[in-house]
Structure 1
């Protein structure tokens, strides 16, 4: 099987074969709970017309081959070989006349964190509220319905927001890293806003360092050139395969003193998990 034929296989059909169920659907799109993380609100969209996927939480998308290589962690040869074994229907999506797209979301208000529910959420994660107030906001937003939602917003470098509350994990706008500079020769890097704020909470201060929050390990490769000019780079990524790959990539490209600090919380999933257990202990 070649790439052209493989990408004619319906992504929706492939996901169903993998045991995933459609959470909601309209004429153009099918929505699933993301296969890359646990969530209760579907943020993984398949455009049935173009046969393309997009995961709003991870900020990644592409065709079927792209998805299978990421999801299965296979190389291209194995992906094509395995797809050729399946009795998939070659759903050749015929382009339809494009309809005018409505905005996927509308941000209604951005303000300081004041919601008791969001404050309680931060407390549950043992994150210092003062630090959260400095780097996060309370974002009120709408999707296609009239209902307004709100969550903690962590702004990225292109104006998008990482959105979190007890029930939702996603991104409004374009996915990107978040860079915070203090004219330092040391750069500390984190996977997520919660790990970054956990670091500040553990330190009980904002160290004189520059910070980059990936917001997704898929963006680690975008940060390689940003390492230039630093005397020291410290990484605080998750103790999983994605965290390992991101660490290895940046370490291999770094020309300065590089410190992988996962050893300090090697028994825990990530820095926030370490902070939570430290509080309980």
Structure 2
């Protein structure tokens, strides 16, 4: 059951930590001043500042600022009660009179990739099968990576981005090996399909393969909705842009930002309405109900 959060409790949440849970990290830190690219729009020069001592933010681009509550209702376009109960409700937000409270969302540990090989470990192939992704589809785009996390070695599925970083998955793990960036698969098409993560990209390929449809477009996998700004210069070069992002607030915002810059971009989420993402749709829907674009 969700617990209601009071205004007083909400205002004690550390804004810097909260922004981190949304995927925003400061571009510059000077004393108690944390500078960000504004979460409210796409920009080249950071204009959004958090005073961590005061726990207040100010957006110089729009001339507005305030507490975490002011941020929440602006960011989610919702009422105060909706922000407190729908977006903060259920999170463990301890109360402390003396110190600022930091949300218990630890930053992802540093991962070091030691070795990369073709996908062959049965447990990883079975994990993909549980997500309804066949080896035939997965083996074209995925590798098996051996990586170090907190001094211990593990293995997982690896999907590489265009800057050499990796998205790593297994049944019990989800993480990234720096640098974080997008993956653009270009085959010379004037059309491009855009996905939030590689599992949705593979789901799209799987759905179309099962439907007997061949594909000739290019693909862009964001690997995080925070990569929208980096994706826009790529998307501007295409005649046709199809979006397949998540049905959640982050997906809503990323879709809106892309369509704001590219009105021609088509939001295809109605095809899996009622499901969080394309992979969830694939896992629970009969394939015959899907009509390939």
Q: Normalized against structure 2, the TM-score is what?
A: 0.63
* The one of 112, 116, 119 aligned to 1:113: 119
Compared with structure 1, are the counterparts of its residues 90 and 247 closer, same or farther at alpha carbon in structure 2 (3 Å cutoff)?
closer
Q: Distance in 2 between matches of 1:68 and 1:127?
A: 45
1:197 maps onto 2:202 in alignment = yes
Structure 1 residue aligned with 2:97:
87
Give the superposition deviation at 1:277: 1.1
Give the superposition deviation at 1:179: 0.6
Contact conserved, 2:119 with 2:143, CA < 8 A, in 1?
yes
Q: Distance in 2 between matches of 1:263 and 1:223?
A: 22
Cα deviation 1:81-116 (Å, max 9, x = unaligned): 79xx9734379xxxxxxxxxxx94432211111111
Give the superposition deviation at 1:144: 3.9
Structure 1 residue aligned with 2:257:
249
Structure 1 residue aligned with 2:237:
229
Contact conserved, 2:192 with 2:238, CA < 8 A, in 1?
yes
Q: Distance in 2 between matches of 1:77 and 1:237?
A: 30
Superposition pairs of residues 25-64 of structure 1, within 5 angstroms:
none
Give the superposition deviation at 1:247: 0.7
* The one of 134, 159, 183 aligned to 1:128: 134
Gap runs ≥5 in structure 2: 1-11, 24-30, 35-48, 58-63, 72-94, 102-108, 289-293
RMSD: 3.7
Q: Secondary structure at the match of 2:285?
A: helix
Q: Secondary structure at the match of 1:123?
A: helix
Structure 1 residue aligned with 2:26:
none
Give the superposition deviation at 1:182: 0.5
Structure 2 residue aligned with 1:153:
158
Gap runs ≥5 in structure 1: 1-8, 19-33, 38-49, 54-61, 70-74, 92-102
Give the superposition deviation at 1:221: 2.0
Compared with structure 1, are the counterparts of its residues 104 and 78 closer, same or farther at alpha carbon in structure 2 (3 Å cutoff)?
closer
Compared with structure 1, are the counterparts of its residues 131 and 79 closer, same or farther at alpha carbon in structure 2 (3 Å cutoff)?
same
Q: Normalized against structure 1, the TM-score is what?
A: 0.66
Compared with structure 1, are the counterparts of its residues 77 and 184 closer, same or farther at alpha carbon in structure 2 (3 Å cutoff)?
same
Compared with structure 1, are the counterparts of its residues 80 and 202 closer, same or farther at alpha carbon in structure 2 (3 Å cutoff)?
closer
1:272 maps onto 2:265 in alignment = no
Q: Distance in 2 between matches of 1:208 and 1:280?
A: 21
Q: Distance in 2 between matches of 1:68 and 1:218?
A: 22
Cα deviation 1:234-278 (Å, max 9, x = unaligned): 0000111111111111111116x3211001101111100110012
Structure 1 residue aligned with 2:38:
none
